[in-house]
Structure 1
C-alpha cells in the first residue's frame, strides 16, 4: 500500500535559505546606509525623509519575503492535511468524471451529475465494440450527483461477462435537454504525490486528483 510522503525536509531547507537571503539583504542595506551617512556632505546632509523612505522600503521587502515564507509554510501544511485525508480513502469507492462502467460479479456501479432536475433519464450501456448491451429508464432524478447500479443482465436476459463497458446518460425536463456529466465508479487503491499534488490511484481507472472526486461512496 502506497501512502503520501510530504517533502518536509525540502520545505525546511528552502525556508532556511530564504531567511538567510533576507538577513543578507538587510545587512547589505544597513552597511550602505551607514557608509552613505559617514560620507555625506556636511553642507548637504541626508534628508530625514529620505532615510525614512529607504528604511520603509527595506521593511516592505522584508515583509514580502516573510509573507512568501508564510504562504509556502501554509501550502506545505495543506498538502500534508490533504495527504492524510486521502490516505483514509484507500479501499473506498469514489465517483469521478468518466463514462467507464466496471462489471464485477454481476454488479456494476456508476453515476451521473445533472445540471438541473430531470423528469426522464435514460442510461445506455455498450460493450467494447460499441454494441448495445442494456438500456434502462431511471425516470425522474434530482439535480446533482446520482448513482445507479446495473445487475449485469443484458437486454436479452442473458448475464453479461465481467469486464469494462461504456455508458451514456441522456436526460430531459419538460421536453428540454438537461446537461449530464457521466461519472465512473472506482476503488481507491493507493495515494501518491505528483509534483506536490495529492493523487488517488483508482483500480482500472488510473490516477485522479482530490478535486476531481465528485462523491465518496
Structure 2
C-alpha cells in the first residue's frame, strides 16, 4: 500500500515510548524486589520478619507487578492503535473525496461538487460569491445530474481570480424558495496526518478537513 504523504505524529510518539528501556513503574518494581529479597536473606533467624509486615510487603509487590503488566499492555495497545490509524490514513491518499463546505479556496480550473438535494426541491441554483459578498457566477443545477462542475468562469465569461469564494446551493419548489444548503466540494486527497488521535486530510485544492467529515467519492 502506498502511504506517500502520510505523517503520523501519534505513531512516532507511541513507538518512542515503547522503545524506552525503562520507566518509573518498572524501576520501582525492580528496586522493591531487590530490597525484599535482601531483607528475607539477611533477616535475623532469632527475630524473623513479622508475618503481618511480610504480608503487607507481598501485597505491595503484587500491586507493583500488576502495574508493570498493565503499563506493558497499554504500550502494546497504543502501538496497535497508531499502526491502525496510519494504515487507515494511507487508504485516503490519492482518492477523490467530498468535503461539505460553503468556502472554496479556488486555485484555477474546473471545480466539481455535489449535494444531497431534498426530494421536494424541483429546482436548484448554485450561487458563487467573493469575500465581499458580490455574486461572481450562478449556475442552474439539475438535481438528477449530480455531480456538477463549475468551469471557473465568472458570469461575464472571464477567468475567476484565485482566492476564497463562497458557494451555496439555493433550493426552490414551484418557483418558491425553500432555503439554502452547502455543497460538497470534490477534490483529490494528497496528504493524511494523525493529529490528537484524529485523521486529518489535505486536499489538492488546499482544503484541510477531518476524515470524519469527508465522504469518499465512488468511481472517481
| Aligned equivalent of 1:27 | 30
Q: Displacement, 1:43?
A: 8.1
Q: CA RMSD in A?
A: 4.1
2:138 is equivalent to residue 134 of structure 1 = yes
Q: 2:124 aligns with which of 122, 132, 137?
A: 122
TM-score normalized with structure 1 length? 0.66
Structure 1 residues 10 and 151, CA gap change in structure 2 (3 angstroms): closer
Count, aligned residues = 202
Return the alpha-carbon distance in structure 2 between the equivalents of residues 47 and 176 of structure 1. 82
SS in 2 for 1:204: coil
| Aligned equivalent of 1:76 | 82
Q: Displacement, 1:185?
A: 2.2
1:193-208 → structure 2 map (5 Å cutoff): 193=193, 195=195, 198-208=199-209
Cα offsets for 1:123-169 (capped at 9, x unmatched): 3322425226224254589xxxx6333466877xx645345653212
Return the alpha-carbon distance in structure 1 between the equivalents of residues 86 and 8 of structure 2. 6
Return the alpha-carbon distance in structure 1 between the equivalents of residues 180 and 58 of structure 2. 61
SS in 1 for 2:31: helix
Return the alpha-carbon distance in structure 2 between the equivalents of residues 9 and 16 of structure 1. 11
| Aligned equivalent of 2:5 | 3
Unaligned runs of 5+ in 2: none
Structure 1 residues 124 and 10, CA gap change in structure 2 (3 angstroms): closer
TM-score normalized with structure 2 length? 0.65
| Aligned equivalent of 2:187 | 186
Unaligned runs of 5+ in 1: none
CA contact (8 A) 1:126 1:132 kept: yes
| Aligned equivalent of 1:214 | 215
Q: 2:159 aligns with which of 158, 161, 166?
A: 161
CA contact (8 A) 1:103 1:152 kept: no
Q: Displacement, 1:96?
A: 0.8
2:179 is equivalent to residue 149 of structure 1 = no
Return the alpha-carbon distance in structure 1 between the equivalents of residues 177 and 7 of structure 2. 48
